[in-house]
Structure 1
């Protein structure tokens, strides 16, 4: 249940309206809170603040914050559009959840709401002596917060939506998701070893991408019915109503239809892939940026080379995995989860680049050097997968590059030829 609410909060936090809404609620609360100090010991300690001085500050805030809020929204929309057009539409969710921009917009709108509520309360003589003083302090603090937030936001908006910044943001989100996967690859459940005997097939009820799997809910279902559940899908997989999403041993006290409904309810399906629980999606998004850069209309191999470096850094999260991985605590012992093969990560990261950049010797040399670097990571399966990917990339280049000296140079750099 805790994980479900955390997943729900993450989805809310990705919505552009959520943080401004929270700030608006807090602003109303702060404007009315000052009244609570009236009639307390503070009346004898605080100076008497004239109503006109507070009204002047509040009028300044109310007159400027709405304009700045509109300007902020316009600038953010332009940045979102630029990120979609110059990088990939898959980067939109990363850019729209930029913390600095959301915090700035929330501060501006919250300040406007605070000034309106406080002005109305002040005009109706809602505050006493100490209430006015506390309101005056709140207003001064709000002024300072707005100025600092604006300066910070101006620096961010100058970079938001630019290609290099978008690449950095996507890499950061991908690293967070991949680190989570590396630490807990089987979601606190068992890996799949053998097929279940006399198994029941559970098919999907929705069409879309798997966004989240509530393994704890599946564990509860399995315990209640004394069964084993073997998943056949992972976050990022596209499923439909004929997809076998899971297998389970026969349940004695629950019908197949009810069991199917409950298991499907534990698997969240949506129209798009999500970064949080899908460790491969970050690689896909970065590869799409590189693919667009390598298109004939753009012809920007430098961006593709930069993307290869980003992908290489992500793979190095597997370095010394046995030393850094936390002990896999199996808390869901009645659930089995399939593994993601390392060659799938390599294909997501580099196959589009090797396909669209096959004729560019600079890109292919950088790609082969990345494979060589990845093969040196202290992970038993990466060396073999990197050699296979290196061979495929070289063969693509061999069919596209006609200049013999370039091919000889690429052959020297190729991992599988060494």
Structure 2
């Protein structure tokens, strides 16, 4: 067992906590507009002070200043214009997103509204409207104005430029390829922060080295029960390990991140070899429970977004979107395939402190493809593409995961109705399955699967044609 050096656990969790707070803040659409509104008010205060308080407009050449009446007319026009621009923009955007979310996934609406370009666009529109409206309210005496009309005109020009950029952003973001790629990168970021940067430093390379420390009898443990039902959103693993080390206890988590936990059920169980009392409330505080799932530490939740898009595109008869999403899921799985999935977390001295409810490669494989396989069980084209993605994954996974991948490939292919497949479909299907078998080392199992399929065919002529076209490994008999 080895611990990696040159790693700052406090910095790692600060990054995760900062990301969590940022997501909580910007999940609310008002956050960025409030910041820009404050900036608009400050800009308004400066303009009024310069033009009305200090009367600086009188020192500027008359050719570039405006009189009172023209200034009010300009401000009135700009106020109505920017309000109309804001209303038109977001009405159209929400209408398009509503249609798009029904077609693909309702969760993309939240992703879009949390996007920085979306939030800043709304902020610029609201801040500009705030500035112009306040200026219109306070321009109430004769004089020469320069800063108020110039800043108002400048903000409107910025708003128009923002509008053009925002429309281009919508067109780009709503392309399915870009949308699924963004979701995949979001999942990769979660995996890197949780599995690679945070947890990987405390996992053991060899589970056998701590297996003798794992408590065997739950009856001897002390359960810490949940006070309010909800989703397990985040867990401060580093603090959990440190507090367990201080109290000299071993903790086993009863839920994994993303699970729905019911009130009064055990959140965790701890074991101790001493009679000292344990402050259970501090351990509850390290596990955040909320009404909704989020992406901060929940890789499975982010993965399910991609799965939902693939499933809906199957229902919408959009195979291209389904296939693109399948490859995005496959790419995501290849990125996390080399991460250690052992459930044991140890302290700096190598003593077991936390046992987590762990997801292994087989679980991610099932989460990523099982639902898609179910809804495409009558679609041989999509099923073949699933096998192609599995073959690509098979090339990069560790040898210990080959069995899980082969079994899932067999599980996938057995859902099809063999007797209703065209010979060419069978040929393409089994050619891909053979590649998986050769990559994972399951050629003999492939041959047995083919012969079992042939034995189940009732049409003798169809069977002869299939026997001629279906590929069989060199160890098999054609």
Q: How is 1:274-293 mapped onto 2 (pairs within 5 angstroms)?
A: 274-293=294-313
Deviation at 1:332, TM superposition (A): 11
- 1:86 is aligned to 103
1:124-273 to 2 correspondences below 5 Å: 133-136=146-149, 138-158=151-171, 163=176, 166-184=179-197, 186=199, 189-190=202-203, 193-194=210-211, 195-196=214-215, 198-219=220-241, 221-222=243-244, 225-241=247-263, 243-250=265-272, 253-254=276-277, 259=280, 261-273=281-293
User: Counterpart of 1:371?
Assistant: 390
Name the structure 1 match of 2:450.
none
Of structures 1 and 2, the larger Rg is shown by 2
Q: Of residues 47, 59, 63 in structure 1, which corresponds to 2:80?
A: 63
Task: Assess, with a 3 A threshold, how the Cα gap between structure 1 residues 321 and 201 changes in structure 2: closer, same or farther.
Answer: closer
Alignment of 1:104 with 2:124, yes or no, is no
Pairwise CA distance, 1:124? 6.3
Structure 2 runs not aligned, ≥5 long: 1-12, 438-445, 447-472, 474-478
In 2, the alpha carbon distance for the partners of 1:248 and 1:56 equals 72
Distance 1:90 1:140, change over 3 A: closer
Q: What secondary structure is seen at the aligned counterpart in 1 of 2:322?
A: helix
Cα shift readout 1:129-158 (whole Å, capped 9, x = no counterpart): 9xx655455334313321210101122334
TM-aligned CA deviation for residue 413 of structure 1: 0.7
Do 2:244 and 2:250's aligned partners in 1 also have CA atoms closer than 8 Å? Answer: yes
Q: Using the TM superposition, give the Cα deviation of residue 270 of structure 1 relative to its aligned residue in structure 2, in angstroms.
A: 2.3
Aligned length: 403
Q: Tell me which residue corresponds to 1:316.
A: 334
CA deviations 1:61-93 (Å, max 9, x no partner) are: 311111122222312321331232101223332
Matches within 5 A, 1:4-19: 4=17, 6-19=19-32
**Which structure 1 residue ranges, 5 or more long, are not aligned?**
323-327
Distance apart, 1:389 and its partner CA? 1.7
Instruction: Note closer, same or farther for the CA distance 1:60–1:202 as it changes in structure 2 (3 Å cut).
Output: same
* Residue matched to 2:405: 386
By how many angstroms is 1:187 displaced? 7.0
3-state SS in 1 of match to 2:249:
coil
Secondary structure, counterpart of 2:223 in structure 1: strand
**Equivalent in the alignment of 1:76:** 93
SS of alignment partner, residue 248 of structure 1: strand
Q: What's the TM-score, normalizing by structure 1?
A: 0.82
Residues 180 and 325, structure 2, Cα contact 8 Å, conserved in 1: yes
Note the aligned Cα RMSD (angstroms).
3.6
- Matches of 1:397 and 1:340, distance apart in 2: 28
Matching residue within 369, 375, 382 for 1:356: 375
Contact 2:82/2:156 (8 A) holds in 1: no
In the alignment, is the contact (CA less than 8 A) between 1:61 and 1:111 conserved in 2? no
TM-score, reference length from structure 2: 0.72
Q: CA deviation at 1:319?
A: 7.3
Query: Per-residue CA shift, 1:16-48, capped at 9, x if unaligned?
Result: 2221122112211221134666899x9998657
CA distance in 2, matches of 1:147, 1:204: 52
**Secondary structure of residue in 2 paired with 1:229:** strand
